[in-house]
Amino acid sequence: MADETLDASGLNCPLPILKTKKALSKMDIGKILDVISTDAGSVKDIEAFCNQTGNKLMSAVEESGKYIFTIEKT
């Protein structure tokens, strides 16, 4: 279960990543962030972001045109 949820629906690249970065910066290590996006480009972008920053991408699923990412701040 996420500690916080970021709804980036309707936003296009690079806004979902920028808002994810900002939200994670305010969170403590070990906390969980759910990110909801409608931008298909977010799939690769979020994965690359997590790889570059060391945050853990716990899951990435698509439901009815929405992409839901669960990220653990590390």
Residues catalogued as catalytic: 13
For residues 67 and 58, give the distance between their C-alpha atoms in angstroms, rounded to a whole number: 13
Q: How far is CA 55 from CA 2, 27, 70, in A?
A: 15, 12, 10
